[in-house]
Structure formats: structure tokens, C-alpha cells
Amino acid sequence: MEIVHASLKRRHPASAARKNEAAEAVDALWAHAEPADGLQHASALPAPDRIDLLLYLLTQDTPGQGDAVSRAHRLITRSHRTSPLLRHSYLPLDPRAATGRTAR
């Protein structure tokens, strides 16, 4: 299992998080997860200027699936592109964020 932390910056930092925003963000991740992502668990914590996402992904031994950070980046990008909540409330991930470290 690998753990990836990512944050999406709020489009309008002065706006407060909606009541169910964390649950809706996690639902969006699950709705757009693909088997190759290896998503096992996700959590979200809204803050005044961002939403923090914690993704628990299966360790992939199959070549070509990409490391956990790359898989998390693809999942978050896919979810952001298709989820009205994520698209309208948050900026997309920085493409440079696809490189990083994971915890095992």
C-alpha cells in the first residue's frame, strides 16, 4: 500500500467550504477511479485556501502502471475534469506535481 498526499488550490480562497465538500470530493474520486489506479481508500479535508486529499493506493508490481504519485495525479486530474464540484471550486493540479515521494 502506498499513500499519496495532494492538494487542490481553491479558485476563490475567500469562499468557505460547503458542508459536504469533503464527502463530495471523495465521491468524485471513487466515481472516476479505474482498476489500474489501485485506489483502496481516500479522504479529504477542506481548508480555507485548498482541499487536501489523501489517497491509499495498492502497490503495483505490474510494469507500465506508473508509480503511485503518477497514478494519483491521473486520478485527481480525471476527477477534476469531470466533477462539477472540483472543476468549479478548485484549480487543476500543477503538472509538475506528478513527481514526488510516497509513503509505504
pLDDT digits (tens, 9 = 90+) for 37-66: 999 999 999 998 999 999 999 997 766 667
pLDDT, averaged across the chain: 87
Say which residues have a Cβ less than 8 Å from residue 69's Cβ, sequence separation at least 6: 4, 98, 99, 100, 101, 102
Q: Report the predicted TM-score, pTM, of the whole model to 2 decimal places.
A: 0.84
Within the chain, how many helices (H) and strands (E) appear?
Answer: 3, 3
Phi first, then psi, for residue 94 (nearest 5°) are -70, 130
- State yes or no: pLDDT of 15 exceeds 80: no
Q: How confident is the model at residue 68 (pLDDT cuts 50, 70, 90)?
A: very high
